[in-house]
Structure 1
Amino acid sequence: MRMLDELHLRFPTFGTRGLRRLLKREQGLNVGRKRLRRLMRLAHISALRPRPRTSAPGKGHRIYPYLLRGVAVTRPNQVWCADITYIPMPRGYCYLVAVMDWYSRKVLGWELSTTMDTAFCLRAFRSAVATAGRAPEIMNTDQGSQFTSTDWIREMKQHEGLKISMDGTGRWVDNVFIERLWWSLKYEDVYLKSYETPRETGRGVGAWLERYNTERPHSSIGDRTPDEAYFGIEAESKWRAA
């Protein structure tokens, strides 16, 4: 699963065929596609390409339409997104969910769990609401069972004016901001430090996300950090130049 996770970050559009070839070429492993599918589901990995669904919804769960086609995201708290990723450890693994503000790329809330259930997603969302002091205008997720569950939808509907949006056919690209976050987190922190326990992982990931929000500039938001973009502050270099 660790190998699959690294290969997926390097080749995010590869499915079981491509990953099988890479595992054989780079690691000398001959793994069947059936096993790869099972491990990819366990690691919450799927190829990034246009497809009918981004994740499997729960049985009987309602799917909401995608609301962001042609929408210009111009301000903080207009659109949030949430996603889950797999975090490997030497003895086991856990899952990380993050809630990100689309406009500023700021991570507003996150949670770590050893199980991929709805409860830790709700805790991350509530943490984001507490950080922002409000809910977003639009909450966008994939169609995974956590985000189509009754508990998640009920939580969204408690916030007046919040609209629920879910990635649909061919909309994999809308998750690219948070996919970049996962790539940076894993290559700059998780893979380098090989955390031993969920508690140690939580401390390390939390410290990295704090630096990401406060210190890491992004060219797409005017060379500002996510915090600067979220709070409407000019980049520090511009202040010094003035």
Structure 2
Amino acid sequence: MLRLVGVAPSSWHRPPRDGERKRPGPTPQAIPTQIVQGVVAMATGNPWYGAKRIAVMRRRGGLAVTDRQAYRVMKVHKLLRQKRTRRAEVYQAAKLFELLRQAPNDRWQMDVTYIHIPGSGWRYAVTVIDYYSRYLLACCLTPSYSGHDVIHGLKLAREEAERIHGPLAKSPNLVTDNGPSFIARRFGAFVKDRFSHMRIQYRTPQQLGLLERFHRTLKEEEVYWQLYENPQHVRECLAVFRERYNTRRPHWSLAPSEGGDVLVPREVYAEGKEIRPPRWQSWAVAAQAKLEEMLTAA
């Protein structure tokens, strides 16, 4: 009939009538009760496995079950992996939420970047930034990136934090890479009782992404615009940049919790204005809420 009226059979679709199967073919055979019970028991006891693995495990136990039978049974009993509520994963995601910054001075990031001075060669900028507020605690020029020089930058950051907040109630969590200055014995001895020091994994600069992105801002908004005369000139320019970055430059990640334009780092770090979590952290916020709901129900 379709050919007579000029309609391609492959384009014809008719919704199934009442009681009619969606797909043609014989009606699937009923699965024996023994197989159903065996698959349900194995899938319930191993909720992290899919249908194929459950079928293999049952066959290894002496029960003749096909992959298709295991899939059908698990689908009917809602035991397929993607259909379950995975309490363990929700719990782990909620624990990760606790690792995110919650207030100023919870976590600092520290690194070193290069700056070239015509006629004087290379110098190094030691930078320390507060993870929560993006407040630039220190940005000092040093002749090297030895343990002694980075300790000097960290001392300046601590002095700035205590100038604003007074003596810190707890040791900030300090995150660095694995550069020679941060694995030096002198640096380790200095931070031992003053900070909770954590180094990122090797070859994973994204774990220090906040400070790596800041160095790009430092170069694009300061270093590449200047022709420095000498190291003292660099120090003066870095001081001006730091003041501008903290007090006048709006930061897109600092969206106020009550709405409105984004804030500058000083408003969050020194004035205590609240911000809402960025969108990329919404998974952690949702997981935390889900965990609290599950614990309440329990």
TM-score by length of 2: 0.52
User: C-alpha deviations, 1:81-100, integer Å up to 9, x for none?
Assistant: 10000001222121001111
Equivalent in the alignment of 2:49:
none
Following the alignment from structure 1 to structure 2, what is the Cα–Cα distance between the partners of residues 163 and 148? Answer: 14
Pick closer, same or farther for the CA change 1:168–1:128 going to 2, 3 Å: same
- SS of residue paired to 2:210: helix
Q: Is it true that 1:86 corresponds to 2:125 in the alignment?
A: no
Alignment counterpart, residue 191 of structure 1, candidates 220, 224, 245? 224
User: C-alpha deviations, 1:179-227, integer Å up to 9, x for none?
Assistant: 2221122122211111121110110011101110111111211111111
Pick closer, same or farther for the CA change 1:107–1:88 going to 2, 3 Å: same
Cα deviation, residue 127, structure 1: 1.1
User: C-alpha deviations, 1:219-238, integer Å up to 9, x for none?
Assistant: 21111111111121369xxx
Following the alignment from structure 1 to structure 2, what is the Cα–Cα distance between the partners of residues 136 and 110? Answer: 21
Q: Is it true that 1:113 corresponds to 2:142 in the alignment?
A: yes
Please tell me the root mean square deviation across aligned C-alpha atoms, in Å: 2.0
Equivalent in the alignment of 1:30:
none
User: C-alpha deviations, 1:5-52, integer Å up to 9, x for none?
Assistant: xxxxxxxxxxxxxxxxxxxxxxxxxxxxxxxxxxxxxxxxxxxxxxxx
Alignment counterpart, residue 154 of structure 2, candidates 98, 108, 125? 125
Where do 1:144-223 residues align within 5 Å?
144-159=179-194, 162-169=195-202, 171-222=204-255, 223=262
Relative contact order: is structure 1 or structure 2 higher (C-alpha 8 Å, sep ≥ 6)? 1
Cα deviation, residue 69, structure 1: 6.3
User: C-alpha deviations, 1:50-70, integer Å up to 9, x for none?
Assistant: xxxxxxxxxxxxxxxxxx966
Task: Structure 1: give runs of 5+ residues left out of the alignment.
Answer: 1-67, 236-242
Please say if residues 76 and 103 of structure 1, whose CA atoms lie closer than 8 Å, have aligned partners that are also in contact: yes
Q: Is it true that 1:76 corresponds to 2:104 in the alignment?
A: yes
Alignment counterpart, residue 177 of structure 2, candidates 115, 137, 142? 142
Equivalent in the alignment of 1:226:
265
Residue 146 of structure 1 aligns with an amino acid whose one-letter code is S
Following the alignment from structure 1 to structure 2, what is the Cα–Cα distance between the partners of residues 129 and 152? Answer: 15
Matched residue count: 166
User: C-alpha deviations, 1:72-114, integer Å up to 9, x for none?
Assistant: 2111111111000000122212100111111111111232112
Q: Considering only CA atoms, is the larger Rg found in Structure 1 or Structure 2?
A: 2
Cα deviation, residue 171, structure 1: 3.6
Cα deviation, residue 169, structure 1: 4.6
Task: Structure 2: give runs of 5+ residues left out of the alignment.
Answer: 1-94, 163-167, 256-261, 276-298
Residue 149 of structure 1 aligns with an amino acid whose one-letter code is A
Alignment counterpart, residue 125 of structure 2, candidates 96, 108, 115? 96
TM-score by length of 1: 0.64
Residue 118 of structure 2 aligns with an amino acid whose one-letter code is P
**Percent identity (aligned):** 30
Following the alignment from structure 1 to structure 2, what is the Cα–Cα distance between the partners of residues 234 and 153? Answer: 34
- SS of residue paired to 1:145: coil
Following the alignment from structure 2 to structure 1, what is the Cα–Cα distance between the partners of residues 134 and 274? Answer: 15
Following the alignment from structure 2 to structure 1, what is the Cα–Cα distance between the partners of residues 274 and 249? Answer: 14
Residue 204 of structure 1 aligns with an amino acid whose one-letter code is C
Please say if residues 111 and 120 of structure 1, whose CA atoms lie closer than 8 Å, have aligned partners that are also in contact: no
Where do 1:2-81 residues align within 5 Å?
71-81=99-109
Please say if residues 109 and 127 of structure 1, whose CA atoms lie closer than 8 Å, have aligned partners that are also in contact: yes
Please say if residues 228 and 234 of structure 1, whose CA atoms lie closer than 8 Å, have aligned partners that are also in contact: no
Pick closer, same or farther for the CA change 1:190–1:163 going to 2, 3 Å: same
| Divergent runs of 4+, >3 A | none
